[in-house]
Amino acid sequence: MQIIRGFRDILPENIGLWQRVEKEAEKLFEKFGFQEIRLPILEKTEVFARSIGEATDIVEKEMYTFPDRKGAKLTLRPEATASMVRAYVQHKMYATDPIRKFYTIGPMFRRERPQKGRYRQFYQIDAEIFGVSSAYVDADLIFLLNELFKQLGLTGLKAHINSLGCPACRPGFQKALLDLLESKKEELCHDCIRRKETNPMRTLDCKVHGCRKALKDAPTSLDYLCKECRDHFNTVKRVLKEQDVEYTEDKTLVRGLDYYTRTAFEIQTSSLGAQSAVAGGGRYDLLVKEMGGPDIPAIGFAIGFDRLVQVMENLEKTIGTTRLDLFIIALGDEAMERGHLWSTRLNLKGIRTEMDFRGKSLKSLMKRADKLGADHVLIAGKKEIKENSLILRNMNTREQISIGSDDLVADIIKLLKKE
């Protein structure tokens, strides 16, 4: 028997990074006053259809929906925000204090075409803030994401931000976009012709070459922001700068869900090929009301847990395959003691050095040097130490020279840097 296509087992040998991410995320969320909430995986279909939008790819094509035995339409959750809002409204959480911060971690389901970085069951780390309309919390959430990635040792990630406007300014933008789409309709792909009717904004992030070309100078929401939205967006950018969060203003970032207003953002990486978004989110000031609650603003993000782990694995592989300049084979206590000092100093000077402390034989340590891909091996046995004449072997040419131990660190730097 085989697992369902697009689903994955996460095996014990791969669980380490998942646990590490979970711990770091939970620690950071607690520091910033988020509370954990656990939500069901199955909801009534309308919870998602109404919030995410009937005309989105997720609702139109990707949801796992089925009738239960009595005929009610149920859906495996494709994302967490809709359920969060459902719970916030259902339990009238706003009644005691509308300002609430939640996080949740768990599986989501979308019937997309599986490929690397895209699965039919995948995991998200999700955080939402209810009850604050201030741009400061938009910046806070992006800062939090940035901080989490920093703490996990990730580099090369970039925040892309955009503002999608509000009901006051979006109609102007949508009209201008529709006019353009109408005039370019011969050049658009099949999907975009359909999007023109159902969800025009999504044409802006179509990847088809013809559409990209036709819509190169398309109007964007940023061109049409009302004063309030513009001030809001400027504050987000100013606060991000103050907090040293690097970002790119990205006019084409529209996101795949209908409920967003004002700030939308994504954290992107270049290390995952086509699936470049590691996290995404935005403000959804109208959704609580649309789902039957009072008029309460909110904002949130979801991290693609699978992709985050993949970026980390790639990074570890790169680190793992870093060329090793020198492997020190130290035989006996004195050699071990001195070898250890040399290796620390050489690493500090930029000569990647490793040694082994298990007291293994020369033969097995030579094998280890090979396995690590060391360019050079320094052999310090009892005899070599006594005679002050160590052996430096070039593993590629197999040439060996003898080298004294008095100025060993400086001599090795000279020798290895020259090659």
CA atoms within 13 A on the CB side of 88: 31
The CA–CA distances, whole Å, from 168 to 164, 165, 236, 261, 400 equal 11, 8, 19, 11, 77
- Minimum CB separation of residue 64 from ligand AMP in Å reads 12
Contact positions with ligand AMP (CB under 6 A) in 20-79: 79
Q: Which is nearer to ligand AMP, 122 or 233 (CB)?
A: 122
Q: How far is the CB of 112 from ligand AMP (least distance, A)?
A: 5
* Residues 75 to 104 in contact with ligand AMP, rule: CB under 6 A: 79
Question: Contact, 234 vs 207, CB < 8 A?
Answer: no
By CB under 6 A, tell whether 124 contacts ligand AMP. Answer: yes
CB closer to ligand AMP, 220 vs 310? 310
How far is residue 117's CA from residue 115's CA, in Å, rounded to a whole number?
6
Q: Which is nearer to ligand AMP, 165 or 280 (CB)?
A: 280
Structural tokens at position 257: 């869900």
Name the residue nearer to ligand AMP (CB basis): 219 or 280.
280
Helix (H, G, I), strand (E, B) or coil at 114: coil
**What kind and span of H or E run contains 108?**
strand 100-109
Question: What DSSP string describes 338-407?
Answer: HHHHHHHHHHHTT--EEE--S---HHHHHHHHHHTTEEEEEEE-HHHHHTT-EEEEETTT--EEEE-STT
The interface region with ligand AMP, picked from 93-101, 110-118, 244-252, 318-326 by CB under 6 A, is 110-118
95-to-50, 55, 89, 103, 285 alpha-carbon distances in Å? 23, 33, 10, 20, 18
Residue number with the shortest CB distance to ligand AMP? 304
Compute the least distance from the CB of residue 302 to ligand AMP, in Å: 4
Task: State how far the Cα of 142 lies from the Cα of 296, in Å rounded to an integer.
Answer: 21
Please count the residues of this chain forming the interface with ligand AMP, following the rule CB under 6 A. Answer: 16
CB nearer to ligand AMP: pick between 200 and 282: 282
Residue 43 host element (H or E)? strand 42-44
d(CA 124, CA 127): 10
Residues 245-304 that bind ligand AMP (CB under 6 A): 256, 277-280, 302, 304
Residue 226: count of CB within 10 angstroms of its CB: 15
Q: Which is nearer to ligand AMP, 133 or 276 (CB)?
A: 276
Write down the residue that tokens 């009610």 correspond to: 72
For the bound state, the minimum distance from the C-beta of residue 159 to ligand AMP, rounded and expressed in Å, comes to 12
Residue 119 Cβ, how far from ligand AMP at the closest point, in Å? 4
Options 119, 173, 224, 284; binder of ligand AMP; rule CB under 6 A: 119
Stretch that binds ligand AMP, among 18-26, 115-123, 241-249, 310-318 (CB under 6 A): 115-123
Per CB under 6 A, 110 contacts ligand AMP:
yes
Find the part of the chain contacting ligand AMP (CB under 6 A) among 116-124, 169-177, 368-376, 407-415: 116-124
133 touches 151 (CB < 8 A): no
Query: Which of the stretches 86-94, 117-125, 127-135, 378-386 binds ligand AMP when contact is defined by CB under 6 A?
Result: 117-125
Asked if 232 interacts with ligand AMP (CB under 6 A), we say: no
Residues that bind ligand AMP (CB under 6 A): 79, 110, 112, 118-119, 122, 124, 256, 277-280, 302, 304, 306-307
